[in-house]
C-alpha cells in the first residue's frame, strides 16, 4: 500500500510536469521542496499571519516568509488575457503579467497565489492546470 503523502506528492509532480512554460514549470517544482536552511544564520521570525497576508505580493519585507495565500474570485470568472485585473475576495487586486490567456466558465473559483522563483507570483485556479504569472496592483 502506498502512503497517502506519497500519492499527494506524485500528484503535485504531475501537475508541475503539465506546465508548458519552462520558468513556470521550474517555479512549480521549486515550490514543492522546502527551502534549504543556510548554516550560521538565525531563523527569521515569522510575522503575524494577518499582516503577512495583507502585504503578500507588495514590496517584500526582509522577514516575509509567506509562500502563498489562498482566497477565491467572487462571482463568475470567464478567464484572463494579458493585463486582466482580478479582484480576490480578500480585497487584493492582481494583474496578469505574462502574455498568456485562458478561457473558463467558473463561479467563485478558489485560488492560490504562490511565490515563484526570482520574485514571481503565480495564480493557481482550483482544478485548472494553467497558472498565469501575476503581479499585485493593490
Q: Which pLDDT score is estimated for 37? A: 57
Distances (CA, A) of 129 to 12, 15, 19, 61, 132: 11, 7, 7, 30, 10
Q: Tell me the domain boundaries of the chain.
A: 4-34+65-136
Q: What is the mean pLDDT of each run of 10 residues along the chain (138 residues)?
A: 58 82 79 63 56 67 69 95 95 94 93 91 93 93
d(CA 118, CA 116): 7
Query: 127: closest CA among 113, 109, 114?
Result: 109
Q: Which pLDDT score is estimated for 51? A: 60
Mean pLDDT of the chain: 80
Amino acid at each position: 500500500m502506498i502512503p497517502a503523502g506519497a500519492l499527494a506528492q506524485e500528484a503535485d509532480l504531475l501537475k508541475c510536469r503539465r506546465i508548458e512554460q519552462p520558468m513556470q514549470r521550474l517555479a512549480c517544482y521549486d515550490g514543492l521542496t522546502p527551502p534549504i536552511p543556510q548554516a550560521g544564520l538565525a531563523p527569521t521570525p515569522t510575522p503575524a499571519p494577518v499582516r503577512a497576508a495583507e502585504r503578500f505580493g507588495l514590496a517584500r519585507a526582509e522577514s516575509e516568509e509567506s509562500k502563498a495565500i489562498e482566497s477565491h474570485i467572487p462571482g463568475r470568472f470567464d478567464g484572463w488575457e494579458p493585463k486582466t485585473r482580478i479582484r480576490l475576495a480578500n480585497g487584493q487586486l492582481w494583474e496578469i503579467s505574462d502574455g498568456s490567456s485562458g478561457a473558463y466558465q467558473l463561479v467563485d473559483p478558489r485560488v492560490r497565489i504562490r511565490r515563484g522563483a526570482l520574485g514571481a507570483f503565480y495564480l493557481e485556479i482550483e482544478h485548472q492546470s494553467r497558472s498565469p504569472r501575476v503581479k499585485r496592483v493593490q
